[in-house]
Amino acid sequence: MDSLEAELDRARDLDVGALADSIEAIGFECTRCGGCCTGDPLDDGDEEVDADGDGSETEADGPGPEDESGGREPHTATVFPDEVRELRSAAEATFGEAYDWRDVARPMPFGLTGEAEGGNDGDGVTGETFEWALGTDDCGDCTFYEESDGQGACTVHDARPLICRTYPFSVALGGTSQPMGEAVDAEGLVRAHECEGLGRDISRVEAEELAAALKRRAIRELEEAIAVRDTYEPAGVDGVVVHDSEGRKRPDGTPVESPD
Ligand code: SF4
């Protein structure tokens, strides 16, 4: 059996009670710090340049050449095509205005080359990539993030994607994603990733809700990975092409037709 199918079987067999036990043992309470919804400071040497020619890379040099967000790396979280559509509907209902695909999601930047302006679909950007990332604002924060009095909030909370519902946790199955890099804690099959809310008491009800969402996410990620593998066709066209479980798309979400 293909390994992704085997992992999908394992995901479908996950015991929500056992996952909840692990989440309770690790502990978690959201502090609304916004850390999982906002851009990150750039790593040293990542994008910094000696623009003022003083021989050093300092903040005075300003953001690097590919940095459009004031010295911060844009928030990058995977959102699946059905979740993009749900977010569009939720945003339209919340804000009373039309939301296009590209208002919600941008192509994952990995694999693309050129000036990544305007959400990776600006002039000169080419290449093929896999999946979508939540859209970001000029500061590199998720486009749906709002902050007031130091408290962060998601403006589409009820429609937020599975990756957001389950952060800072993941399940250690092959083919599932590990957000924000390496795990900082582990219990059973559950992995915990960098978050200031870890280690706090969590109720059994909340742990079970999180565990159920974590199982749904593991299944969804593996189903998506299998569909992408099975539908993949090399781009063979100019510009940016995004491969997801529904086939090939342009950055505005429209399908790329196969040449006759
Ligand atoms: S959709 Fe909501 S929870 Fe997810 S990153 Fe954006 S603001 Fe945060």
The string of DSSP codes covering the chain is --HHHHHHHHHHT--HHHHHHHHHHH-B------TTTS-EEPPTTTS---TT-SSS--GGG-S-TT--SSSEEPP--EE-HHHHHHHHHHHHHHHSS---HHHHEEE-STT-BS---TTTTSTT-BEEEESEEE-B-TTSSBTTEEEETTEEEETTGGG--HHHHHTTEEE--TTS--TTSS-SEEETTEEE-S-TTBTS---HHHHHHHHHHHHHHHHHHHHHHHHHHHH-----SSSEEEEETTEEE-TTSPBPPPP-
| pLDDT above 90 (res 107) | yes
| pLDDT above 70 (res 85) | yes
Tell me how far the alpha carbon of residue 208 lies from the centroid of ligand 1, in angstroms: 21
Domain total of the chain: 1
Q: Is residue 125 one of the residues assigned to a domain?
A: yes
Q: Is residue 259 one of the residues assigned to a domain?
A: no
Q: Is ligand 1 within 6 A of the CB of residue 241?
A: no
| Range 216-231 average pLDDT | 96
Tell me how far the alpha carbon of residue 60 lies from the centroid of ligand 1, in angstroms: 31
**178-182, 197-201, 253-257: lowest mean pLDDT where?**
178-182
Tell me how far the alpha carbon of residue 87 lies from the centroid of ligand 1, in angstroms: 10
Closest residue (by CA) to atom 1 of ligand 1? 160
Select the more confidently predicted residue: 178 or 48. Answer: 178
State pLDDT tens for residues 143-159: 999 998 888 899 999 99
Containing structural domain, residue 78: 3-39+74-249
Q: Is residue 53 one of the residues assigned to a domain?
A: no
Q: Please classify residue 237 by burial: count the beta carbons closer than 10 Å to its beta carbon, then call 0-12 exposed, 13-18 middle and 19+ buried.
A: middle
Tell me how far the alpha carbon of residue 215 lies from the centroid of ligand 1, in angstroms: 19
Tell me how far the alpha carbon of residue 61 lies from the centroid of ligand 1, in angstroms: 31
Select the more confidently predicted residue: 48 or 129. Answer: 129
pLDDT for position 44: 46
Give me 146's structure tokens.
């709002």
Q: Is residue 66 one of the residues assigned to a domain?
A: no
Q: Is ligand 1 within 6 A of the CB of residue 144?
A: yes
pLDDT for position 124: 75
Q: Is residue 46 one of the residues assigned to a domain?
A: no
Angstrom distance (rounded) from CA 145 to CA 158: 13
Q: Please classify residue 57 by burial: count the beta carbons closer than 10 Å to its beta carbon, then call 0-12 exposed, 13-18 middle and 19+ buried.
A: middle
Mean pLDDT of all residues belonging to the chain:
85
Q: Is ligand 1 within 6 A of the CB of residue 37?
A: yes
Angstrom distance (rounded) from CA 32 to CA 28: 12
pLDDT for position 181: 77
Give me 22's structure tokens.
């692990």
| Range 199-212 average pLDDT | 98
Q: Is ligand 1 within 6 A of the CB of residue 167?
A: no
Helix axis angle for 204-231 and 16-26, nearest 10°, is 120
Closest residue (by CA) to atom 4 of ligand 1? 164
Angstrom distance (rounded) from CA 38 to CA 60: 23
The β-bridge partners of 135 are none
The number of the ligand 1 atom at minimal distance from the alpha carbon of 145 is: 7
Q: Is residue 64 one of the residues assigned to a domain?
A: no
Q: Is residue 67 one of the residues assigned to a domain?
A: no
pLDDT for position 150: 81
